[in-house]
């Protein structure tokens, strides 16, 4: 097959003047190289397309692909991750990973949690703070946790995200609102163990490939898998695969969320336990990082004895199978 690859390269945006933070979710050249190599090894012909703007030009020029391997996160708006898939739908070009509905919904952590609650999955109570005055109407028990409503890679998450009083809540909200210029989600702080669950497949075919416990070392920023802890994970974080009864529960919760939200082909669900050890849904990553060494999903694979090649093969197999079965959307 001829497979196009869509992505946002961090270096390109940095050279256009965007900041380190604005580009934190974007990809490094070695991620694209690794995906390209795995697809080529599997016998495909590849074509590196780039961002949504490059895709627009190529489509207008008449270029087409049998399938697009899409990891583009986009730059702007709640639909930023949905831009490439929506455009590909318009041209009826099949693509790997989730559709525009899922990618828009799951970028908004508050909207996602409303659906998750409807599915009967535990998730911390929350409020959305769109402007400073909304802080006064937050009626949730402290400690609370504050984060931007539509970011990833722990952008905006540090020690001050956990707040113990209305004054701290107001201070953190003021700072995050002015830095990120988007609403915030304020939710009950979960003090328990944290896991990220790696999944490949779609719907009934989705399976858990491994459950990673995020164990913070002594020198790490305490309690949370923060931006700083992710950036310096080699010194600050230890990853362990979970098994035993809690693993069964993590698998059940993660697959229920993955299937209920309609996520496709591969990604991760983040879970964390409350004070009673009950697992809660934190968020889902339908475009999980795919750096072969540094990203959580390939780290899970490494610990579970799955090679990077196998990971990409299984993601592709899921896409091919579901596209073969698609009748309308
Ligand atoms: N309610 C909460 N209680 C305790 N810790 C939390 C809570 N929400 C988030 N965290 C901490 O903050 C981290 C980042 O939160 P979250 O996973 O929502 O953000 P993200 O930036 O989208 O992450 P990713 O890099 O997985 O895309 C979590 O891994 C967890 O350590
Ligand atoms: Mg997360």
Residue 227 has which token pair? 């931006």
Coil, strand or helix at 287? coil
**Considering only 17-21, 92-96, 126-130, which range has the smallest mean pLDDT?**
17-21
List, edge to edge, every strand of the sheet that includes 237-241: 237-241, 207-216, 194-200, 266-273, 279-285
Q: Residue-wise over 110-145: b if at least 16 C-beta within 10 A, else e? A: bbbbebbeeeebebbebbbbeeeebbeebeeeebbb
d(CA 292, CA 24): 17
Q: What is the pLDDT of residues 275-327, one digit of tens each?
A: 999 999 999 999 999 999 999 999 999 999 999 999 999 999 999 999 986 64
User: Which atom of ligand 1 is found nearest the CA of 188?
Assistant: 1
Give 15's pLDDT tier (boundaries 50, 70, 90).
confident
- What is the Å distance from ligand 2's center to 279 Cα? 15
d(CA 70, CA 329): 17
Pocket test for ligand 1, best of 24, 224, 275, 288 (most atoms within 8 A of CB): 224
Residues with Cβ within 6 A of ligand 1?
124, 145, 147, 151-155, 157, 187, 189-190, 194, 224-225, 270, 272, 282-283, 285
Residue with the two structure tokens 């109407």: 137
**What is the pLDDT, as a whole number, of residue 128?**
96
d(CA 258, CA 137): 32
**Does the structure show a pLDDT above 90 at 194?**
yes
Q: Rg of the Cα trace of the chain? A: 19
Residues 6 or more apart in contact with residue 158 via CB below 8 angstroms: 221, 224, 226, 227, 228
The strand pair at 266-273 and 194-200 is best described as antiparallel
**What is the pLDDT, as a whole number, of residue 329?**
46
- What is the Å distance from ligand 1's center to 186 Cα? 12
User: Which atom of ligand 1 is found nearest the CA of 191?
Assistant: 4
pTM: 0.94
DSSP run (H or E) holding 54: helix 52-60
- What is the Å distance from ligand 1's center to 96 Cα? 25
Residues 6 or more apart in contact with residue 43 via CB below 8 angstroms: none
- What is the Å distance from ligand 2's center to 293 Cα? 18
Residue 169 has which token pair? 């809540």
Q: What is the DSSP letter of 160?
A: G
């Amino acid at each position: 097959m001829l497979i196009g690859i869509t992505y946002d390269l961090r270096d390109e945006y940095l050279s256009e003047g965007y900041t380190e933070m604005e580009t934190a979710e974007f990809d490094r050249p070695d991620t694209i190289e690794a995906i390209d190599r795995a697809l080529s090894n599997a016998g495909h012909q590849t074509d590196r397309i780039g961002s949504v703007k490059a895709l627009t030009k190529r489509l207008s020029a008449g270029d087409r692909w049998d399938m697009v391997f899409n990891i583009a996160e986009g730059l702007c708006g709640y639909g930023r991750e949905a831009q490439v898939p929506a455009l590909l739908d318009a041209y009826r070009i099949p693509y790997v990973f989730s559709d525009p509905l899922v990618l828009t919904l799951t970028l908004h952590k508050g909207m996602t949690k409303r659906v998750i609650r409807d599915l009967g999955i535990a998730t911390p109570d929350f409020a959305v703070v769109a402007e400073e005055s909304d802080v006064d109407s937050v009626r949730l028990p402290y400690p609370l946790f504050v984060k931007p409503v539509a970011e990833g890679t722990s952008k905006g998450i540090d020690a001050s995200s956990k707040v113990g009083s209305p004054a701290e809540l107001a201070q953190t909200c003021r700072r995050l609102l002015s830095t990120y210029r988007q609403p915030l989600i304020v939710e009950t702080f979960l003090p328990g163990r944290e896991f990220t669950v790696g999944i490949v497949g779609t719907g009934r075919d989705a399976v858990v490939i491994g459950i990673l416990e995020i164990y913070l070392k002594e020198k790490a920023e305490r309690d949370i898998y923060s931006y700083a802890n992710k950036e310096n994970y080699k010194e600050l974080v230890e990853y362990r695969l979970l098994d035993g009864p809690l693993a069964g529960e993590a698998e059940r919760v993660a697959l229920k969320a993955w299937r209920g939200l309609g996520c496709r082909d591969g990604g991760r669900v983040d879970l964390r336990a409350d004070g009673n050890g009950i697992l809660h849904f934190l968020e889902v990553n339908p475009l999980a990082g795919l750096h072969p060494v540094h990203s959580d999903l390939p780290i899970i694979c490494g610990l579970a004895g799955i090679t990077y090649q196998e990971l990409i093969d299984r993601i592709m197999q899921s896409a091919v199978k579901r596209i073969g079965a698609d009748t309308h959307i």
